[in-house]
């Protein structure tokens, strides 16, 4: 269900930090899907919901998302639902910023990629529907410090439906935890989906804006015991430039694309070991039943995996993110 649009508000230049274990949903009715039911914390949170409206014209409970979020107590364990209305009825509500890694922070040092996020979510059970997260920083090829994160998700059990993530370098910091993305548009130039999360991206549109050669993902699984990896199912890969599907930020970097349409921008090699051949034997880069000119397997690096039905199975359902216990229908 779409976010209500009876309030006129557009959030400009704000950074929202959700620091406690608070539960935020942007949406309406929540219902559990899957067999085993939700975990207990989630069940408690859902039975005790609070609704807040954000409206810049003063018609809602708060004028900015920041104020609304600040009103939620630390260590909150109830479900808070924020309704944010768009500034323009035809657009989704947009949360925008332009910080980059090289911006100087209060301590006189560059803030770094981690702090550049327009929206940073450290809370568990975050849920966003129909929100546009944006970092408008430009990306100049070859210049350092231009990373500008639109959204960083560090909490676990987070879901995003019909959301847009716009940025250039490092758009979506899929930092850590279990995450689900459905029907989202993610756009960027370099490593625009990166981090150590364990995430399922379903029906998403990955749009490259690079002018040269770049990688879509930089997945950071650093050891074999770490449960981390990105799975893209029924997605579309398109845009400009030439792209690798992934490059190995971590030695055990794990990425699988299944049932995905790949435009001609995908390089025939498919994957990059980031110049470290040790990683060739350690990374897990798989493809399964993809289509389109970029999915032609001739020319793939020898260590790319063409998955069998059995090998693909763990990656192609919500079991990949233990979704049975926490994924609630929006």
DSSP H or E segment with residue 66: helix 65-70
Contacts of 143 (CB under 8 A, 6+ apart): none
Q: Does 298 sit near ligand NAG (CB under 6 A)?
A: yes
Span of 16-24, 33-41, 116-124, 220-228 interacting with ligand NAG by CB under 6 A: 220-228
Q: Of 10, 226, 301, 318, which one interacts with ligand NAG (CB under 6 A)?
A: 226
Q: Of 21, 77, 102, 240, which one interacts with ligand NAG (CB under 6 A)?
A: 240
Phi and psi based region of residue 197 (left: phi greater than 0; alpha: psi -120 to 50; beta: remaining) = beta
3-class DSSP state of 277: helix
- Least separation in angstroms between residue 15's CB and ligand NAG is 11
Which DSSP symbol is given to 9? -
3-class DSSP state of 2: coil
- Least separation in angstroms between residue 3's CB and ligand NAG is 8
x/- track of binding to ligand NAG for residues 94-113 (CB under 6 A): ----x---------------
Q: Of 222, 291, 308, 319, which one interacts with ligand NAG (CB under 6 A)?
A: 222
Total number of residues that touch ligand NAG (CB under 6 A): 23
Q: Does 330 sit near ligand NAG (CB under 6 A)?
A: yes
Residue nearer to ligand NAG on the CB measure, 154 or 207:
207
| Footprint (CB under 6 A) of ligand NAG, residues 173-202 | 183, 187
Phi and psi based region of residue 73 (left: phi greater than 0; alpha: psi -120 to 50; beta: remaining) = beta
Q: How far is residue 320's CA from residue 312's CA, in Å, rounded to a whole number?
A: 11
E strand intervals along 112-184: 119-121, 127-129, 132-135, 151-153, 158-161, 164-166, 172-174, 178-182
| Footprint (CB under 6 A) of ligand NAG, residues 35-54 | none
Q: Does 2 sit near ligand NAG (CB under 6 A)?
A: yes
- Least separation in angstroms between residue 73's CB and ligand NAG is 28
x/- track of binding to ligand NAG for residues 119-148 (CB under 6 A): ----------xx------------------
Q: How far is residue 69's CA from residue 62's CA, in Å, rounded to a whole number?
A: 9
191 is catalytic: yes
Q: How far is residue 68's CA from residue 61's CA, in Å, rounded to a whole number?
A: 8
- Catalytic one among 191, 273, 280, 309? 191
Q: How many CB atoms lie within 10 A of CB 212?
A: 12
Whether the CB-CB separation of 235 and 257 falls below 8 Å is answered with yes
Determine what percent of the chain falls in helix, strand and coil, rounding each to the nearest 5.
10, 35, 50
Residues marked as catalytic: 191
Residues at the site binding ligand NAG, with contacts judged by CB under 6 A? 1-2, 13, 98, 129-130, 161-162, 183, 187, 203, 207, 209, 222-223, 225-226, 234, 239-240, 296, 298, 330
């Amino acid at each position: 269900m779409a976010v209500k649009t009876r309030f006129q508000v557009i959030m400009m230049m704000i950074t929202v930090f959700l620091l406690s274990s608070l539960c935020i949903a942007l949406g309406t009715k929540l219902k559990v899907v899957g067999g085993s039911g939700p975990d207990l914390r989630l069940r408690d949170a859902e039975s005790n919901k609070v609704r807040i409206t954000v409206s810049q014209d003063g018609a809602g409970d708060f004028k900015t998302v920041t104020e609304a979020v600040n009103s939620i107590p630390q260590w909150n364990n109830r479900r808070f639902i924020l309704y944010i209305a768009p500034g323009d009825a035809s657009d989704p509500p947009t949360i925008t910023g332009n910080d980059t890694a090289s911006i100087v922070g209060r301590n006189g040092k560059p803030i770094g990629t981690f702090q550049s996020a327009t929206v940073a979510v450290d809370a568990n059970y975050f849920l966003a529907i129909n929100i546009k997260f944006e970092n408008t920083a430009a990306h100049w090829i070859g210049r350092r410090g231009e990373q500008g994160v639109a959204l960083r998700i560090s909490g676990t059990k987070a879901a995003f439906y019909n959301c847009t993530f716009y940025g250039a370098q490092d758009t979506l910091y899929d930092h850590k935890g279990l995450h689900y993305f459905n029907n989202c548009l993610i756009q960027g130039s370099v490593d625009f989906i990166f981090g150590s999360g364990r995430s399922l991206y379903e029906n998403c549109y990955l749009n490259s804006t690079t002018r040269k050669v770049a990688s879509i993902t930089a997945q950071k699984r650093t050891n074999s015991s770490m449960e981390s990896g990105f799975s893209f199912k029924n997605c579309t890969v398109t845009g400009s430039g030439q792209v690798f599907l992934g490059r190995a930020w971590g030695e055990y970097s794990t990425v699988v694309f299944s049932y995905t349409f790949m435009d001609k921008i995908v390089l025939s090699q498919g994957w990059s070991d980031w110049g470290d051949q040790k990683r060739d034997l350690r990374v897990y880069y798989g493809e399964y039943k993809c289509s389109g000119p970029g999915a032609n397997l001739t020319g793939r690096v020898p260590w790319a995996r063409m998955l069998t039905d059995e090998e693909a199975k763990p990656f192609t359902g919500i079991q990949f993110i233990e979704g049975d216990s926490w994924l609630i229908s929006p």
